[in-house]
Amino acid sequence: MHLIERQLQNAFNKLVAWCDNNGHAISPEKSRCVHLCRKRNLHLDPVIYIRNFAIPLVNDIRFLGVIFDRKLTFLPHVLHLRKKCERSLNILKVLSKTSWGADRTSLLRIYQAVILSRIDYGSMVYGSARFTVLRRLDPIHHSALRICTRAFRTSPVESLYIISHQLPLDSRRQKISALYCFRAQSVRKHPINHLSLPAGLRRLYAARPSHILPLCERTKMLLHDSDLSNISVQFSDFFTFPHWDMPQFSLLNPFPGFDKSSTAPVTFQQLFHHHRYRYSSFVPIFTDGSKSDGHVGCGVVFPSDTLSYRLHNCCSVFTAELVAIFCALQEISPSNQSNFILYTDSMSALEILSHYDTQMHPVGLEILSVLQFLRNSGFNIMFCWVPNHVGISGNETADVIARFASEFHPRALPYCDIKKFLVSHLLSLWQQKWNLLTRNKLYPVKPSIGLWPALIMRELDVKLTRLRIGHTRFTHRHLFLGQRAPRCPTCHTDFTVNHIFVECPSFKCHREYHFNSSSVTL
């Protein structure tokens, strides 16, 4: 402890000296010190001085909106967060009533903007807290969903998640933490990229499962059974081109004013042959990308050769189109020819390449960088859009080799594709958990997870929501009054929504009157 105290004091002395030399001042009265330590034996706290003034020692401190306590339990932060969110619930209570008020969609948007955003903020940091601490926030989530949907108070929380299409908080924290790790990996020289768990600590965590892993290791545990376990994220270069040296992009469209749905394929073929006659001095190169179930590929067709690669399954078809163009430009570099035209059926890829932006697709930035290098080397490269599946031989060949590409192309993946794939993976895990709750009254009505559109009229939407969940005032009011469950005098069974709408013969005439059928399914 004395060594740590001496090292900290030397660092503070250097910081104070630098501030004095550069016109800054540190106020000792406004400074605070917190001793982060989990040692159980008795030991003294360090005493740090600023100009012979001891910095006050506190048990917790707020840094960028997150409260860090000395044991890093994050219990003070969770309690403070819960208190703030409980006050914000009053906004939803004012706007929502059973018979009038804002619709469910608007209320959920307000909840996400006012309350859920506070819970999400810093969740990758305080997500390392114990489960018993984190679950203190679950009642806020459940209360807000009940207010937005006006579901009956006895409704299961799993039904609330499905009816409002909101992830549980633990799954939401996992999603935010994983996206943060991948986003950090896409930034060059991010501090988190240089953090790795030593082998000795790995054995320690394996021997003691109760110990909570660091952020990146927790993310790896989440993705160990997915295709994202061992991938590299492509860097996002925001300042690739200076403003005085913007990339030039030449785009051709030999089919202006022709709609594919109302134009015969032979017309497009004739127009393309005329276009090739005009640009006969340019070497044609066709590129295409393909994505199907479990396969993503790209293909490039040269006049005397073809090139095809298989990409990672999480890549989108848009990324496959861009990778095909990038591979074609790389093959152009050692060529003896100088005039080339790249043909693609992806208008979206050409649009993004023709409008440079610092936030554009990272593969698009790579393409523009290679294109500028080739132009400076004396190459004249143009791009042209062609419609797909109209009989243009080069485009058809590129499509076939992209769909059947087998050689894997190891390359870093863009963050945008990883984000979509991760969200899809979490939704599939949520669907697997929902499939286990077959006894839930909502499961026969909605076996697959998806967003349900809300009715405009609040009163009708509340009634329909309660009927779908299966918890209504008539069927579950007895739980609050301490009475027995209402029973059907005809069938001698408890009244349920399914029994009234489907099973009970006493309501057969009502079914025929309202649904024009005696057999109704939910």
More confident residue, 137 or 98: 137
- Are 320 and 199 found together in one domain? no
Task: Give the three-class secondary structure for 283.
Answer: strand
Mean of pLDDT values over 33-50: 82
Residue 273: inside a domain? yes
pLDDT per residue over 155-176, tens digit each? Answer: 999 999 999 999 999 999 989 9
Task: Give the three-class secondary structure for 16.
Answer: helix
Residue 94: inside a domain? yes
Residue 447: inside a domain? no
Taking alpha carbons only, the member of 250, 254, 282 closest to residue 353 is: 250
Query: Which CATH number do you get for residue 377?
Result: 3.30.420.10
- Are 483 and 347 found together in one domain? no
DSSP for 193-206, please give it.
GG----HHHHHHHH
- Are 217 and 342 found together in one domain? no
- Cβ neighbours around 180 below 10 Å, total: 18
Residue 69: inside a domain? no
Band of the pLDDT at 520, cuts 50, 70, 90? low
Mean of pLDDT values over 73-77: 93
pLDDT of residue 253: 86
pLDDT of residue 239: 65
Band of the pLDDT at 518, cuts 50, 70, 90? low
Structural domain containing residue 46? 1-58
- Are 53 and 96 found together in one domain? no
Band of the pLDDT at 336, cuts 50, 70, 90? confident
pLDDT of residue 170: 92
Residue 234: inside a domain? no
Question: Residue 32 pLDDT more than 90?
Answer: no
Q: Residue 33 carries which side chain, given as an amino acid letter?
A: C
Spell 211-244 as b/e; 16+ CB within 10 A means b: eebebbbbbbebbeebebeebebbbbeeebeeee
Sheet containing strand 339-344, edge to edge, reads 251-252, 380-385, 339-344, 283-292, 295-301, 306-311
pLDDT per residue over 213-244, tens digit each? Answer: 778 778 877 777 677 777 888 888 766 677 77
Place of tokens 């768990």: 197
- Are 53 and 85 found together in one domain? no
- Are 145 and 262 found together in one domain? no
pLDDT per residue over 285-335, tens digit each? Answer: 999 999 988 889 999 999 888 999 999 888 999 999 999 999 999 988 888
**DSSP letter at 487?**
B
Q: Is 197 left (phi over 0), alpha (psi -120 to 50) or beta?
A: beta
Q: Is 222 left (phi over 0), alpha (psi -120 to 50) or beta?
A: alpha
∠ Cα 39 43 45 (to 5°): 100
Residue 236: inside a domain? no
**DSSP letter at 291?**
E
Q: How far apart are the first and last CA of the chain?
A: 68
- Are 263 and 397 found together in one domain? yes
Residue 339: inside a domain? yes
Pick from 411, 442, 459: which residue ends a domain? 411
- Are 386 and 484 found together in one domain? no
- Are 51 and 99 found together in one domain? no
Collect all residues with Cβ–Cβ distance below 8 Å to 142 and sequence separation of at least 6: 157, 160
Residue 166: inside a domain? yes
- Are 267 and 192 found together in one domain? no
- Are 51 and 80 found together in one domain? no
The count of structural domains within the chain is 4
| Cα 420 to Cα 319: distance, rounded to the nearest angstrom | 12
pLDDT per residue over 204-217, tens digit each? Answer: 878 877 777 778 77
Question: Residue 135 pLDDT more than 70?
Answer: yes
Q: What is the mean pLDDT of the chain?
A: 87
Taking alpha carbons only, the member of 81, 371, 144, 143 closest to residue 247 is: 371
| Cα 309 to Cα 406: distance, rounded to the nearest angstrom | 6
Percent of the chain with pLDDT over 90: 31
Collect all residues with Cβ–Cβ distance below 8 Å to 443 and sequence separation of at least 6: 434, 437
Pick from 411, 435, 463: which residue ends a domain? 411
- Are 402 and 256 found together in one domain? yes
Question: Residue 81 pLDDT more than 80?
Answer: yes
